[in-house]
């Protein structure tokens, strides 16, 4: 079964700045530690090449896609490269609709109730609250109370294994992990340690009532 936002562990590895030549080695470590969703931001070096490599190797077992997607044309380019996930820092209904027309998963960014409901109305499969570290936990709690019950919500930006619990406690269901997990200057051993710690922290959350 192809992966989607409903059937993955809701931890998205954000590989900003990854080189296409290194992406499979990094992905191998992430998958080994329990990640099954990987995002390559489009402002990385040769992002479409990296996405194509990931899709070829992991497209049937992981949800592979792009971040920092701002235009409908970029959606098409990611689709052509084999990606199935479109992540944006903003809510652009045209980008969301283009994503769904290609049967891809849509995870747009939002920072307010208006943006959240606009994204869902356009067909978003989940909501990326960004930058999460700069947003109020009270806002997350209040918004979680009025969103449709099955809404998938991801905290992205300023998230690491140490603060997942705080977001989880106010209704956040998933996380996008960037520099706390991967930067191009991190060693493979460090990336693997970070991945293991992140998955361990997330799995601990699932036991909290």
Strand partners, 129: 110, 155
Q: Is 128 designated active site? A: yes
**What are the residue ranges of helices labelled H in 81-187?**
93-101, 113-122, 137-146, 164-169
Token duo for residue 48: 């479409």
Catalytic one of 33, 39, 105, 161? 39
Helix or strand or coil: residue 103?
coil
Strand partners of residue 106 = 86
Q: Which residues neighbour 22 within 8 Å (Cβ) at sequence distance 6 or greater?
A: 184
Q: Give catalytic status of residue 162 as yes or no.
A: no
Q: Which of 4, 15, 10 is nearest to 66 (CA)?
A: 15
**Catalytic, out of 3, 105, 128, 161:** 128
Torsion angle defined by CA atoms of residues 132, 134, 140 and 142, in that order, rounded to the nearest 10 degrees: -160
List residues with catalytic annotation.
39, 128
């Amino acid at each position: 079964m192809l992966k989607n936002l409903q059937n993955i562990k809701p931890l998205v590895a954000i590989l900003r700045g990854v080189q296409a030549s290194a992406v499979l080695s990094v992905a191998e470590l992430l998958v080994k530690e329990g990640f099954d969703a990987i995002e390559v931001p489009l402002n990385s070096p040769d992002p479409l090449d990296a996405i194509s490599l990931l899709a070829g190797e992991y497209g049937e077992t992981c949800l592979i896609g792009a971040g920092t997607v701002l235009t409908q044309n970029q959606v098409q380019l990611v689709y052509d490269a084999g990606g199935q996930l479109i992540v944006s820092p903003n809510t652009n209904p045209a980008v969301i609709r283009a994503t769904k027309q290609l049967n891809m998963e849509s995870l747009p960014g939002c920072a307010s109730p208006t943006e959240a409901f606009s994204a869902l109305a356009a067909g978003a499969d989940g909501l990326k609250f960004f930058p999460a570290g700069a947003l109020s936990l009270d806002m997350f709690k209040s918004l979680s109370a009025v969103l449709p019950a099955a809404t998938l919500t991801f905290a992205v930006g300023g998230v690491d294994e140490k603060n997942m619990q705080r977001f989880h406690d106010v209704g956040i269901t998933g996380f996008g992990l960037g520099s706390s997990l991967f930067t191009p200057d991190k060693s493979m051993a460090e990336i693997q340690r970070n991945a293991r710690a992140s998955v361990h922290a997330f799995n601990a959350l699932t036991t909290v009532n």
